[in-house]
Amino acid sequence: MFRKVLIANRGEIAVRVMRTLREMEIASVAVFSDADRASLHVRMADEAEWVGPSPSTESYLRIDRILDAARKHGAEAIHPGYGFLSENAEFAAACEAAGIAFIGPSSESIRRMGSKTAARQMAVAAGAPVVPGAHTALSGPAEARVFAEQYGYPLLLKAVAGGGGKGMRRVDSAPDLDAAFRDAASEAQRSFNNPELYVEKLIERPRHIEIQLMGDRHGHLVHFGERECSIQRRHQKVMEECPSPLVAARPGMREAMGEAAIRVARAAGYYNAGTVEFLVDTAGDFYFLEMNTRLQVEHPITELVTGQDLVRLQLEVAAGQPLRLSQEDIAWRGSAIECRIYAEDPYNNFFPSPGRITRLTRPLGPGVRLDGCVYEGWTVPIDYDPLLAKLAVWSESRDTAIARMLRALREYDVAGIHTNITFFRQILEDAEFRAGRLHTRFVDEFLERRRPFDPPPDLASIAELVAAFHLKGVAQTAPRPDAACAPPSRWLDIGRREALR
Amino acid sequence: MFRKVLIANRGEIAVRVMRTLREMEIASVAVFSDADRASLHVRMADEAEWVGPSPSTESYLRIDRILDAARKHGAEAIHPGYGFLSENAEFAAACEAAGIAFIGPSSESIRRMGSKTAARQMAVAAGAPVVPGAHTALSGPAEARVFAEQYGYPLLLKAVAGGGGKGMRRVDSAPDLDAAFRDAASEAQRSFNNPELYVEKLIERPRHIEIQLMGDRHGHLVHFGERECSIQRRHQKVMEECPSPLVAARPGMREAMGEAAIRVARAAGYYNAGTVEFLVDTAGDFYFLEMNTRLQVEHPITELVTGQDLVRLQLEVAAGQPLRLSQEDIAWRGSAIECRIYAEDPYNNFFPSPGRITRLTRPLGPGVRLDGCVYEGWTVPIDYDPLLAKLAVWSESRDTAIARMLRALREYDVAGIHTNITFFRQILEDAEFRAGRLHTRFVDEFLERRRPFDPPPDLASIAELVAAFHLKGVAQTAPRPDAACAPPSRWLDIGRREALR
Amino acid sequence: MKEAGGAQIVAVEPGVYSVLLDGRSYEARVEQSADCVIVFIDGHRFEVKINDPRRWSRSAGKPGIEGRSNVVANMPGKIVRLLVAEGDTVEAAQGLLVVEAMKMQNEMKAPKAGRIVALPAREGETVAAGEVLAVIE
Amino acid sequence: MKEAGGAQIVAVEPGVYSVLLDGRSYEARVEQSADCVIVFIDGHRFEVKINDPRRWSRSAGKPGIEGRSNVVANMPGKIVRLLVAEGDTVEAAQGLLVVEAMKMQNEMKAPKAGRIVALPAREGETVAAGEVLAVIE
């Protein structure tokens, strides 16, 4: 096994990987940008190296600096986490060339899956169902128009080099096509340095269900079942669950999806952790969407339900060990849900809300897992994704897991910035969600129908009372000379009366 | 199901019960003494009632006040937690008489098991093996001496009304007997208001292994397997694990112990949660020790391994529902360990260390469960047991669970008071512990053999550097006029040189 | 602490208050700005405005819509595109400009119909939170 | 932050410092009393005495044994039993008195052999942390 591993990432995933490294008695090397000197992933690491200024293009995306850091610290392997360089075939190849183990698939597998059109072709060849669409990059909006004439609207424009909803646009009718094409191509150019797009028939109200895979370098592949990731905003997952309520209700569906995923992965010569994403239509048919050639953000819910440590398995496989699990060893128990706690305002178009965390109270107790990289007093930087933490819960059934997540969210308090904690509480109370009727437009429809998050009638007067008490305390520490003779307001009056009764 | 439940307890167990109540949408009523107004269990409750001054005899042990609070708040049931009134038959009977459900066994079962001598007789009648001993209260030290002449030393004096090691003394030779008898009787009188003692043959280096049971009011009883609780200080458990490394290595032992435990419980007409404690000798033979007629402190490790919520089951059974599990539904997965984090100094005879928690950083991440009732800025009161929190971890095997616990303990920081966190790290590194060679004198022997917790050589200079930096910062906020011209010390020198290089 | 009814408030952590009233337990978390106290209870947000040291009122929560309106950057970011020019007439909710921050583009919309009387924002420029990007009258 | 070697210290939380030195990362947690700074790194405790504002030294960690010794209550509690009387000669580690706190009885032992020259402790009395219970010479 490796003695030292560098994590080419930041934030919660860097901390997540370090925890398993520490449990395996492997030294960890963090890398950090200017913005992240005080980040928890640097504080918790055994070793750390500065790799550049705050913009990720000058730090976390700098292959040369990451490899220099690995060589300088004598790291034998690099864990890429997710995002940043994790699906960069050039980076994987550079690691291979430098004699440093890349904890992920081969650069060749990444390259094959990185082109969404090539991945589609591979899925077709492997016998996995795919959504009708153009398998090659479009020359321009005109070509998309031809496709639309054959399959009709709505359709979906997607970046060939894409991921995470970047460079993706839904087109509902012909007049919108040109603008959508321009926006998507420009976003794809900015995000992936590649403006190429392809087109697919849009599946209405699809579910997004994915299969977790793990393979070793000896051709052995197993799946860890599915995760339902239909709760999305701006095409990004915000809440995931395992098992999928749909798959749990359909005997044989998990096995069918798992086998399809393994076939695609095998065709790509895949090893290490990977995830095959499927769209599932209202009839329950599933279609290959893409393969993510790295650990997913939402891997904890699979760990909770299967009892496996996916990062430990990644490390074992990357060190050349054969997978110690066969498919029969994978068993599923109970139900897990994850909420991605973001520094954002869900009621203002999910606008990011960086800033200083002035107070932080975390949920604890039975069945609660928290993976984060924040602490009280830390300032959420403006330079990166606003993910603060992943709150996951496990319980014996979906219903009790929902109840547990609600309980945990009520214990969670982050002051100083906006978060989406309350938003999750509302979703979890939603009847459609509870019935398991999920699809990728769920959040949009939910925002239309949601009832206001109105407080119980008694809370307003409590709030006034506390405000009065608080200001009295503040006033005591910095008294105003004229405060004593001021006529008491109604609220202050209430405050005094109640507090002194 | 109940709509409102009062928790006749404080601290972490009150919070633990409230979490399940909230998940079941049952309102919770906390009770509190003067010392506990700001306790987390009061802050988290839906309702709260003051029940008296700080001493527990005037608050948490006041049956009349607890019942008044329940009636006033309209609580339909009372959860007693552990300790305090949880094994008080009079309290259970008073609840029954008041028409309030007692979440535990019948007062009659408590009474039968509360007398350790009667419990022994019941175990004998049920065909469970018991340690040789006097089945009735001793008239005085002379009667113990007669027993010693027959069975030899060492022997163990125990309180008839006892529990938790209170009123218990080991006697190694005849001259120690009188003093030991006096001390034990006096402690029993103070602790249980009953000075009666009985005597048992002392089993050398026994393991303490217990079986978790749950029964409904319709005669249905199941067991949840064992917990190994051999790691004790002052006859109190400090660290527990599930499964027991001994039981895990012996096919059929769990079933044999489980069945013996169920036989004893059935003989007592037992329902709700209970635990049958056994001593296990070096040959692997087990002997009934006593039955605890309540939820145990260490129940979380059973929950982690079996995936059951024992508090939820307690509530269901107390509401008259039949147990929804049969023995075949109970399955064990992986390995769990619990460390009881105490405000105490393990290197100064485990002396309690109450005081203000000035800083608190908790372990998080995969496989970590924390049940606590503390927060930063809270003052640990001197009036109660110094248990701060229970840190439990789960992993797929005992070895990986040990590694995970070590990782979690390294993340744990409690400033302002002493805790036993470092002590657990040392035990977990101990070769005897890792080999699973456990017994109830383990801690005593470990304290003899343990190597000093020496820091790596580089840490001392880092500490000096930080001290210099810290004082410089302090000096900056409150500058001393003569500081500038003072000759720099060696440490300050290092601090400056390193910090400015 | 021994009274049967009545409110009883304790500051348990900085800005955190435990309230007991009529047997019920509440935990309130306070954040204070220059002109208001924001109280959170069980995720519900209450804004108590301090209009004057001697008089507070609970805010209605909605800003006024009449008159001149400033479009303000609600976080630091970079202006990637202007969709209107000074002097343009705009509809309510019409897109005015696009700001990018934390790798996300956000279209700032007109809070009401009117005319753009000022447009200090420039494409490619970095703006601070609170900076005025456009003024509509 | 860009230097290759050298120590680099950042105060990340009150009393918590992140140190990077020679590529290694350390987290140090400081508690300060009137006369010393206690630094914890990975559970290891370092006491840095401030004997004089101009001079510090790292403490050897062991209190001196010669001369007069005070037996001091290390926490608040109640004296339940006295095992010696003023004027008694005691051995090192001999039990002097029993203090009960947090439901636990603790025997206070003589730190060294000598004679009890003062015994302010009284049975049944409550004592505060730091109070002198006995003096041995």
Q: Output the pLDDT for position A496.
A: 34
What is the distance between the terminal CA atoms of chain B, rounded to a whole angstrom?
Answer: 67
- Selected residue with higher pLDDT from A493 and B168: B168
A touches which chains (3+ CB pairs under 8 A)? B, C, D
φ, ψ of residue A286 in degrees (nearest 5) = -115, 150
User: pLDDT > 70: what percent of chain A?
Assistant: 94
Indicate the Cα dihedral angle A467, A470, A471, A474, nearest 10°: -160
Q: Output the pLDDT for position B16.
A: 98
The H or E element spanning position B20 is helix B11-23
Quickly count: other Cβ atoms within 10 Å of residue A354's Cβ: 21
Closest CA to A370 of A380, A378, A360: A360
B463 neighbourhood in chain D, CB within 8 Å: 28, 39, 41, 44, 46, 48, 58
- A122–chain C nearest CA distance, Å: 31
Q: Output the pLDDT for position A64.
A: 98
What is the average pLDDT score of chain B? Answer: 91
Chains C and D touch (3+ CB pairs under 8 A): no
- Selected residue with higher pLDDT from D3 and C75: C75
- Interatomic CA distance for residues B26 and B46, integer angstroms: 9
User: pLDDT > 90: what percent of chain A?
Assistant: 80
- Of A294, A340, A398, A404, catalytic: A294
Are A354 and A265 in contact by the 8 Å Cβ rule? The answer is no
Whether C25 and B375 lie within 8 Å, measured CB to CB: no
Q: Is B134 left (phi over 0), alpha (psi -120 to 50) or beta?
A: beta
Question: What would the two tokens of residue A38 be?
Answer: 């005080």
Highest mean pLDDT among A319-333, A346-360, C103-117: A319-333
- Interatomic CA distance for residues A131 and A203, integer angstroms: 8
- Interatomic CA distance for residues A51 and A62, integer angstroms: 8
Are C136 and C90 in contact by the 8 Å Cβ rule? The answer is yes
Complex confidence, ipTM: 0.84
DSSP H helical ranges for A243-384: 245-249, 253-267, 299-306, 310-318
A to B CB pairs, distance under 8 Å? 86
- B366–chain C nearest CA distance, Å: 27
- Selected residue with higher pLDDT from B234 and A279: A279
Mean pLDDT to the nearest integer, A76-91: 97
Q: In this complex, which of A354, A466, A474 lies closest to C17 when CB atoms are compared? A: A466
Whether A359 and C74 lie within 8 Å, measured CB to CB: no
Which residues of A sit within 8 Å Cβ distance of D? 30, 34, 37-38, 42-50, 72-73, 375-378
Closest CA to D21 of B174, A133, B494: B494
In tens, the pLDDT along D111-127 reads 888 899 888 888 888 88
Q: Output the pLDDT for position D51.
A: 56
In tens, the pLDDT along D12-36 reads 999 999 999 999 999 999 998 777 8
A487 neighbourhood in chain C, CB within 8 Å: 54
Closest CA to A154 of A208, A206, A201, A205: A201
Are A276 and A213 in contact by the 8 Å Cβ rule? The answer is yes
Q: In this complex, which of B42, B73, B376 lies closest to C23 when CB atoms are compared? A: B73
Are B239 and B339 in contact by the 8 Å Cβ rule? The answer is yes
Whether B498 and D24 lie within 8 Å, measured CB to CB: no
B to C CB pairs, distance under 8 Å? 39
Whether D15 and B459 lie within 8 Å, measured CB to CB: no
Whether C25 and B42 lie within 8 Å, measured CB to CB: yes
- Selected residue with higher pLDDT from D115 and A314: A314
Closest CA to B236 of B75, B387, B403, B29: B387
DSSP 3-state assignment of B45?
coil
The residues, ordered by sequence, that sit 6+ positions from A379 with a Cβ below 8 Å of its Cβ are A354, A355, A356, A357
- Interatomic CA distance for residues B124 and A489, integer angstroms: 74
Q: Output the pLDDT for position A477.
A: 46
DSSP 3-state assignment of B62?
coil
Handedness of CA D113, D118, D124, D126 (dihedral sign): negative
Opening angle at CA A492, ends A486 and A493, nearest 5: 95
Are B103 and B318 in contact by the 8 Å Cβ rule? The answer is yes
pTM metric for this prediction: 0.85
- Interatomic CA distance for residues B466 and B462, integer angstroms: 6
Whether A38 and D18 lie within 8 Å, measured CB to CB: yes
Quick check: C46 contacting A, CB < 8 Å?
A: yes
Q: Output the pLDDT for position A147.
A: 92
Task: Give yes or no for residue A491 having a pLDDT over 70.
Answer: no
Mean pLDDT to the nearest integer, A450-479: 80
Quick check: D43 contacting A, CB < 8 Å?
A: no
Chain C 108-137, CB below 8 Å of chain A: which residues? none
What is the average pLDDT score of chain A? Answer: 91
Q: In this complex, which of B24, B361, B366 lies closest to A303 when CB atoms are compared? A: B366
Q: Which of A214-223, A240-249, A489-498 shows the lowest per-residue confidence on average (mean pLDDT)? A: A489-498
Q: In this complex, which of A24, A308, A407 lies closest to B23 when CB atoms are compared? A: A407
- Selected residue with higher pLDDT from B96 and D5: B96
Are A406 and B403 in contact by the 8 Å Cβ rule? The answer is no
In tens, the pLDDT along B128-160 reads 999 888 768 899 999 999 999 988 899 999 998
Give the catalytic positions of B in this structure: 294
* Per-residue pLDDT band at D3 (split at 50, 70, 90): very low
Q: Output the pLDDT for position A474.
A: 67
A38 neighbourhood in chain D, CB within 8 Å: 10, 12, 18
Q: Output the pLDDT for position B475.
A: 55
φ, ψ of residue A445 in degrees (nearest 5) = -65, -40
* Per-residue pLDDT band at D1 (split at 50, 70, 90): very low
* Per-residue pLDDT band at B487 (split at 50, 70, 90): very low
D touches which chains (3+ CB pairs under 8 A)? A, B
- B394–chain A nearest CA distance, Å: 9
Chains B and D touch (3+ CB pairs under 8 A): yes
Q: Output the pLDDT for position A497.
A: 33
In tens, the pLDDT along B41-56 reads 999 999 999 999 999 9
φ, ψ of residue D22 in degrees (nearest 5) = 50, 40
Mean pLDDT to the nearest integer, C86-114: 83
Strands A47-52 and A77-79, by their bridges, are unpaired
Quick check: D9 contacting A, CB < 8 Å?
A: no
Q: In this complex, which of C5, C41, C104 lies closest to A463 when CB atoms are compared? A: C41
- Interatomic CA distance for residues B387 and A448, integer angstroms: 48
The residues, ordered by sequence, that sit 6+ positions from B429 with a Cβ below 8 Å of its Cβ are B406
Question: What would the two tokens of residue C81 be?
Answer: 């595109």
Mean pLDDT to the nearest integer, B274-294: 95
- Interatomic CA distance for residues A309 and A423, integer angstroms: 30
Task: Give yes or no for residue A500 having a pLDDT over 90.
Answer: no
| Residue B166 bridge partners (DSSP) | B163
Whether B366 and A411 lie within 8 Å, measured CB to CB: no
Q: Output the pLDDT for position C6.
A: 56
Task: Give yes or no for residue A173 having a pLDDT over 70.
Answer: yes
What is the average pLDDT score of chain D? Answer: 79
Q: Which of A157-171, A219-233, A466-480, B150-164 shows the lowest per-residue confidence on average (mean pLDDT)? A: A466-480
